[in-house]
């Protein structure tokens, strides 16, 4: 095992918490800091593919996620009017694993946060890193509250706009706007809603997935000429306008956008980031969105982040030195994460160019199939 006795995780994200949980299984002392004093998670819901469900099982929280979320095994694809174009079934990755799942983002955060603390991770909130100091065989850290610490490894898990990335890589990659924006919404599940539903417009795409026994998550994607920001107060009205003309279950949900479900509307431009290899310098390494942020087209962003924590702990346990562990971590993670980003962007480009639905389905199926391989 690499000589790692104490680590610092910067960012209480899905990646950071998963990493902390896995490191504690090795008996490593873990400090985790998050700049948000309330450590809250906003957003509607996420769809969880088979590989992500497998990763959640490795971390040890799958049973809780399934209990509070939802699972299913097929999807229906419609045209804009609501006519069924295709039905798709999803295979499972093995006994005890559902085919596909969904959960509310705050619920997933709560489950992981409880496990993080229960496993003995020392969590400090409202704190950030003011300065890193290289001491050769360890990293000195000066925190924003004036405290200091020394660590064998620092893990930057502080998201797409990572300050850790900019601190250790001054010329680091910056997020790139993909040309699409997304709205998300949480709503009650209609009677009989037991799978994913997709509605394909010429420029707009609407999807629904269960995220709990009572609720579902909706997203709407559409192209945008620039990287526009919309004030939160205006987002429900803009989403209402974007949903015009769709059939199926869309009109019923549209009627709630400006009233019952207005508070759950969430909007953002889609951006991606892939930091060049390596994601580490000295004793500091980036994981999750801090190193590789993707779009939701393959529903794999959270899965890749959780896998990072699992693999990093695996390599720390099995490697003779930290540098060997970090090199092996990169060898296992870079191409897998790059494929998710590249093919997610390609899927968005096909949608924006009114490309072949057959090519879209082929690329999605091929990529998700490759992610089924062991990490």
pLDDT digits (tens, 9 = 90+) for 323-333: 999 999 999 99
What does the pLDDT read at residue 167?
96
Residue 34 sits in a domain whose CATH number is 3.50.50.60
The alpha-helical segments, DSSP class H, found in 269-300 are none
Residue 287 lies in a domain: yes
pLDDT band of 222, cuts 50, 70, 90: very high
| Backbone CA torsion sign across 115, 119, 121, 124 | positive
Residue 360 lies in a domain: yes
What does the pLDDT read at residue 332?
98
Identify the residue whose tokens are 């930290």. Answer: 322
Asked whether 23 and 314 are in contact (CB, 8 A), the reply is no
What does the pLDDT read at residue 146?
96
Strand ranges for the chain from DSSP E: 6-10, 29-34, 45-48, 70-72, 74-79, 84-89, 100-104, 122-125, 129-134, 139-143, 148-151, 153-156, 176-188, 196-200, 205-210, 215-223, 266-274, 280-281, 284-286, 292-293
Number of domains the chain is built from? 1
Residue 151 lies in a domain: yes
Residue 198 lies in a domain: no
Average pLDDT over residues 173-197: 93
**CA–CA distance, 74 with 87 (Å, rounded to integer):** 7
**CA–CA distance, 181 with 205 (Å, rounded to integer):** 11
Mean pLDDT of the chain: 95
Residue 69 lies in a domain: no
Q: Tell me the helix, strand and coil percentages in the chain, rounded to 5.
A: 35, 30, 35
Token pair listed for 104: 């509310």
Identify the residue whose tokens are 């680091």. Answer: 172
Please count the CA atoms within 13 angstroms of the CA of 8 that sit on its side-chain side: 25
Check pLDDT > 80 for residue 92.
yes
Omega of the bond leading into 186 within 30 degrees of 0 (cis): no
Token pair listed for 234: 């205006």
For the entire predicted model, the pTM comes to 0.95
pLDDT digits (tens, 9 = 90+) for 271-290: 999 999 999 999 999 999 99
Check pLDDT > 90 for residue 334.
yes
Average pLDDT over residues 17-43: 95
Token pair listed for 54: 């497998």
Closest by Cα among 335, 347, 345, 346 to 371: 335
pLDDT digits (tens, 9 = 90+) for 178-187: 999 999 999 9
What does the pLDDT read at residue 242?
96
Residue 98 lies in a domain: no
Average pLDDT over residues 338-357: 93
Report the largest interatomic distance among the alpha carbons of the chain, rounded to a whole angstrom: 64
* Torsional class of 255: left (φ above 0), alpha (ψ -120 to 50), beta (otherwise): alpha
**CA–CA distance, 302 with 304 (Å, rounded to integer):** 5
What does the pLDDT read at residue 2?
85
How open is the CA angle 343-345-351, to the nearest 5 degrees? 105
Asked whether 12 and 39 are in contact (CB, 8 A), the reply is yes
**CA–CA distance, 53 with 76 (Å, rounded to integer):** 21
CA distances from 5 to 8, 23, 30, 313, 354 (A): 11, 10, 9, 12, 53
Check pLDDT > 80 for residue 357.
no
pLDDT digits (tens, 9 = 90+) for 33-91: 999 999 988 778 999 999 999 999 999 999 999 999 999 999 999 999 999 988 888 88
What does the pLDDT read at residue 181?
96
Instruction: State phi, psi for 301 to the nearest 5 degrees.
Output: -60, -50
Q: What residue numbers bound the domain in which 311 lies?
A: 6-40+104-175+272-371
pLDDT digits (tens, 9 = 90+) for 111-165: 999 999 999 999 999 999 999 999 989 999 999 999 999 999 999 999 999 999 9
How open is the CA angle 308-25-103, to the nearest 5 degrees? 55
């Amino acid at each position: 095992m690499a000589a790692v006795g104490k680590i610092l995780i910067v960012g209480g994200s899905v990646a950071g918490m998963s990493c902390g949980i896995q490191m504690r299984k090795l008996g490593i002392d873990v400090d985790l800091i998050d700049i948000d004093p309330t450590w809250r998670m906003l957003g509607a819901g996420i769809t969880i593919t088979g590989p992500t469900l497998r990763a959640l099982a490795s971390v040890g929280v799958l049973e809780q996620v399934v209990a509070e979320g939802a699972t299913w095994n097929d999807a229906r694809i419609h045209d804009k009017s609501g006519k069924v174009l295709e039905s798709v079934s999803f295979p499972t990755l093995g006994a005890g694993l559902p085919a596909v799942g969904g959960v509310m983002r705050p619920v997933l955060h709560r489950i992981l946060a409880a496990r993080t603390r229960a496993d003995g991770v020392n969590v400090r909130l409202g704190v950030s890193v003011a300065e890193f100091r290289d001491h050769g065989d360890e990293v000195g850290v000066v925190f924003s509250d004036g405290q200091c610490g020394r660590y064998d490894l620092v893990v930057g898990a502080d998201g797409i706009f990572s300050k850790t990335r900019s601190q250790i890589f001054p010329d680091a990659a910056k997020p790139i706007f993909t040309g699409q924006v997304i709205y998300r919404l949480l709503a009650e599940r209609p009677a009989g809603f037991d799978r994913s539903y997709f509605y394909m417009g010429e420029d707009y795409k609407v999807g629904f997935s269960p995220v709990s026994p009572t609720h579902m998550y909706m997203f709407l994607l559409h192209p945008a000429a620039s990287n526009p920001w919309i004030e939160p107060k205006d987002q429900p009205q803009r989403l209402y306008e974007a949903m015009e003309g769709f059939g199926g279950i869309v009109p019923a949900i549209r009627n709630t956008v400006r009233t019952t479900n207005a508070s759950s509307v969430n909007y953002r431009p889609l951006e991606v980031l892939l930091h060049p290899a390596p994601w580490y310098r000295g004793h500091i390494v980036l994981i999750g969105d801090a190193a590789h942020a993707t779009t939701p087209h393959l529903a794999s962003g959270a899965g890749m982040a959780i896998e990072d924590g699992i693999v990093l702990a695996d390599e720390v346990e099995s490697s003779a030195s930290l540098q060997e562990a970090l090199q092996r971590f990169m060898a296992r993670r870079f191409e897998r994460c790059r494929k998710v980003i590249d093919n997610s962007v390609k899927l968005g480009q096909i949608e924006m160019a009114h490309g072949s639905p057959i090519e879209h389905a082929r690329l999605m199926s091929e990529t998700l199939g490759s992610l089924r391989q062991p990490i």
